[in-house]
Amino acid sequence: MAAPRAGATPPGLTAYPHEVAAVVLSVRDGVLSVLMWQRAQAPHAKRWSLPVGGVGPTERLREAILRQLAEKVDVREVAHLEQLATHSNIKRDPRGRVLATAYLGVVPSSATPHLPADTKWIPVEDLPATAFDHHYFIEAGVERLRAKLSYTNIGFALAPDEFTLSELRDIISAALGYPVTQTNLARVMTRRDLIEPTKSRGAPGPSGGRPAMRYRFSSRELAITDPFAVLKPPRR
């Protein structure tokens, strides 16, 4: 008996569709937000959905998610992208079984994508009812980002190319969901050589004084900077 060809579905088994979903996070108006669009048709009409779509016959998953973001929601400034989770619950889609792999994408606060009318940034702490099982993907994405802020340089993906320490503090605090002091943040960032000063300065404050130094991340590629460090929320 001849062996099945590579990539063929074994006899007696059925191949199911596979889709990709994007959990795109960014700090918008001072809060960590996720990019979502409102479905117009059933199932789950009027509910909010992650950008999602099928995988082409010659596409890899990463290629498919980048295409979906560019074509459907005009998001091209993804500073970081990584695979997040795969859900295979048989009943996750009422139309039939569909496997779904989600990617975590991080967009800097300075990015200004032109969003369609049915798409917007929604604060992660104020999510509406989501379509399908998308809230699980969002929860996983937020948890992943917040964990990596403690031991990697992923802050580069949230921040603009240049920033003052106070601007970075506001962005990191929003992403973590609790306030971080500027002094502590600067100490952590400089000790790990995560940021470096530039030759430019910010605008003077309302009361005048010397303009603040502007900084940039030393590297804009993800790296583990301290596997034992943890930024903990304040004690209540």
Strand locations in 107-179 (E): 119-123, 163-164
Window from 35-44, 83-92, 166-175, 199-208 with minimum mean pLDDT:
199-208
Mean pLDDT, residues 139-164? 96
pTM above 0.85, yes or no: yes
Q: Which of residues 144 and 94 earns the better pLDDT score?
A: 144
Q: Is residue 179 part of a domain?
A: no
Please state the domain count of the chain.
1
Q: How large is the average pLDDT for residues 108-131? A: 94
Residue 168 near residue 157, CB atoms below 8 Å: no
Segment (H or E) for 111: none
Task: Say if 140 falls within a structural domain.
Answer: yes
- What does pLDDT average to over the chain? 88
Nearest to 52 by CA among 34, 82, 26, 72: 72
Query: Is residue 224, in this structure, part of any structural domain at all?
Result: no
**Mean pLDDT, rounded, for 76-104:** 85
**Band (159; pLDDT cuts 50, 70, 90):** very high
Name residues whose C-beta falls within 8 Å of residue 122's C-beta, 6 or more positions apart in sequence: 33, 34, 35, 36, 48, 128
pLDDT score of 91:
75
The 10s digit of each residue's pLDDT in 35-62 is 999 999 889 899 999 999 999 989 999 9
Contact at 8 Å (CB) between 46 and 38? yes
With cut-offs at 50, 70 and 90, classify the pLDDT of residue 204.
low
Would residue 235 count as lying in a domain? Answer: no
Q: Tell whether 105 is covered by a domain.
A: yes
Residue 193 lies in a domain: no
More confident residue, 200 or 232: 200
- 164 located within any domain: no
Which range of residues forms the domain containing residue 46?
18-149
Query: Would you state the pLDDT for residue 129?
Result: 93
Q: What is the CATH number of the domain that holds 125?
A: 3.90.79.10
In a domain, 13, yes or no: no
Q: Does position 232 have pLDDT exceeding 80, yes or no?
A: no
